[in-house]
Amino acid sequence: MVKAKNVEQAYQVAKERYAELGVDTDQAMEQLKNVKLSVHCWQGDDIHGFLNPNQELTGGIGVSGNYPGIARTPAELTADLHEALSLIPGKHKVQLHTIYAVTDQKKDFDEVGPEDFKYWVDWAKQEGVGLDMNPTFFSHPKVKQNFTLASPEKEIRDFWIEVGKKSREISNYFGQELGQRSVNNFWIPDGFKDNPIDKQSPRERLIESLDEIFAKKYDEKNTIEAVEGKLFGTGIESYTVGSHLFYNNYAISRGKLWTIDAGHWHPTEDVSDKFSAFFPFGKGLMLHVSRPVRWDSDHVVIMDDALLRITRSLVRDHELERTNIGLDFFDATINRVAAWVIGARTTQKALLQAMLAPVDQLKKAELNYDFTTRLAVTEELKSYPFGAVWDEFCLQNGTPVGADWLDNIHQYEKNVQFKRK
């Protein structure tokens, strides 16, 4: 077990080292404490939900692995989330989907309303966390030929439009009850496997559907919508209706957040470079932090170059206040609670490392064409003791330091998860 005395001693040394560069480590930790991550509930149960947990996953979604201890009920899922949140420093939010409604009667997706999420609101109040929302546009018989809101059939569109409207009611309910704005993220799987003749009509139908969903006005202190694009998906390799450019334009023209999922782009694209191109025109971002391996495979986040570029961009351009950071991955080959903890803590570490830099001084050097200083200092920072600051941050927030949190996971597996059949 890591000793608090050793953590404190290492932190004092790190604090002095960073101070030599003009960096206040206490201030960086306070800044990080104010960043709320949105933890995705679906890592805990492999995206089954509670409305129809035996429904086959569709929409290009799939989960690999069968690690023991999957959550099967609302009580099990919230218990797992509680365990994970207790090991992640700070207070955060939890993302839900329509399929995670908790109701005592059989309901279809378009019938689910705020009353079916009272269980989650009561739990969130107890935990002191906020809730975000996602309408579920997959794993349902009315995803017809890979189409929902852009379907050529009005009956199909009308069903999914109602799902979208209901999700806005739910998201507004979250904001009202919890006093934290709920981000309602819209992603649909619509598209063609092979080359279409008509590329414009589906997009015109999607615009009409979205405009109808968003026609009613809600107070943005309670809820705000985000729209999420994708390069392509399984089964829609040739044409995605909701492309990145489509939603970029829709978000700007309709005053919505634009969702950037780190796994939804071409593997050679730098996702972080999109931020500064969008912010001068857009309202804000919903960011899904994921790890693509040969594209959108939703691996657990690790501190790789892509994540570091994302966090540096947000910190250096002072855009954290206009960015909602959510996790989005699902891995059933490892302990599902541990996956949450690894992904969240890694994201926080990357943010902290970005904050532990003399950003203003480096910008001044760049403005004066002093590219030598810019390169020299940014390279030296890579070997600075940011890990000691992270350990102190964990200690101050009452969470395990280093890998000590794994002891909690192993105990939780033994006492809770491995007892589930």
Residue 46 known to bind ligand: no
Q: Does the active-site annotation cover 204?
A: no
- The closest of 18, 6, 7, 35 to 314, measured between CA atoms, is 35
Q: Does the active-site annotation cover 228?
A: yes
Q: Where are the domains of the chain?
A: 34-356
The structure tokens 């593997």 sit at 267
Strand residue runs (E) in 79-190: 93-97, 130-134, 182-186
Six token digits for residue 183: 């981000």
Contact 34, 414 (CB under 8 A): no
**Active-site residue, selected from the candidate residues 123, 187, 265, 405:** 187
Q: Does the active-site annotation cover 258?
A: no
Residue 270 known to bind ligand: no
The reported pLDDT for the residue numbered 295 is 83
Residue 298 known to bind ligand: yes
**Active-site residue, selected from the candidate residues 264, 274, 299, 349:** 264
Is residue 61 exposed (0-12), middle (13-18) or buried (19+ Cβ within 10 Å)? middle
What is the SS3 assignment for 195? coil
pLDDT in tens, 329-338: 999 999 999 9
**Active-site residue, selected from the candidate residues 132, 162, 298, 331:** 298
Residues forming a β-bridge with 327? 289
Is residue 417 exposed (0-12), middle (13-18) or buried (19+ Cβ within 10 Å)? buried
- The closest of 224, 125, 136 to 172, measured between CA atoms, is 224
Q: Does the active-site annotation cover 199?
A: no
Cα(15)–Cα(157) distance, integer angstroms: 57
The reported pLDDT for the residue numbered 286 is 98
Q: What angle do CA 249, 255, 259 make, to 5 degrees?
A: 60
Q: Does the active-site annotation cover 328?
A: yes
Cα(251)–Cα(258) distance, integer angstroms: 6
Q: Does the active-site annotation cover 83?
A: no
Contact 124, 173 (CB under 8 A): no
Cα(404)–Cα(401) distance, integer angstroms: 6
Q: Does the active-site annotation cover 360?
A: no
Cα(391)–Cα(387) distance, integer angstroms: 6
- The closest of 391, 409, 256 to 418, measured between CA atoms, is 409
The Cα-based distances of 168 to 55, 211, 409 in angstroms read: 24, 13, 35
Q: Does the active-site annotation cover 298?
A: yes
Annotate 224-257 with b (16+ C-beta within 10 A) or e (fewer).
bbbbbbbbbbeebeebbbbbbebbbbbbeeeebb
Q: Does the active-site annotation cover 288?
A: yes
**Active-site residue, selected from the candidate residues 166, 230, 256, 274:** 230
CA dihedral 361, 363, 368, 373 (to 10 degrees): 60
List per-residue pLDDT tens for the chain, 421 residues long.
899 999 999 999 999 999 999 999 999 999 999 999 999 999 999 999 999 877 777 777 778 889 999 999 999 999 999 999 999 999 999 999 999 999 999 999 999 999 999 999 999 999 999 999 999 999 999 999 999 999 999 999 999 999 999 999 999 999 999 999 999 999 999 999 999 999 999 999 999 999 999 999 999 999 999 999 999 888 899 999 999 999 999 999 999 999 999 999 988 899 999 999 999 999 999 999 999 998 888 899 999 999 999 999 999 999 999 999 999 999 999 999 999 999 999 999 999 999 999 999 999 999 999 999 999 999 999 999 999 999 999 999 999 999 999 999 999 999 999 999 7
Annotate 314-351 with b (16+ C-beta within 10 A) or e (fewer).
bbbbebbebbbbbbbbbbbeebbbbbbbbbbbbbbbbb
**Active-site residue, selected from the candidate residues 83, 261, 331, 392:** 261
The Cα-based distances of 354 to 29, 37, 108, 241, 310 in angstroms read: 11, 16, 45, 35, 9
How many H-runs (helices) and E-runs (strands) does the chain carry? 14, 10
Q: How many C-beta atoms lie closer than 10 Å to residue 119's C-beta? A: 16
The reported pLDDT for the residue numbered 385 is 97
Domain 34-356 has CATH 3.40.50.720: no
- The closest of 218, 231, 245 to 191, measured between CA atoms, is 231
**Active-site residue, selected from the candidate residues 45, 83, 177, 228:** 228
Cα(407)–Cα(234) distance, integer angstroms: 38
Does pTM top 0.85 for this prediction? yes
Task: State the DSSP code for 181.
Answer: P
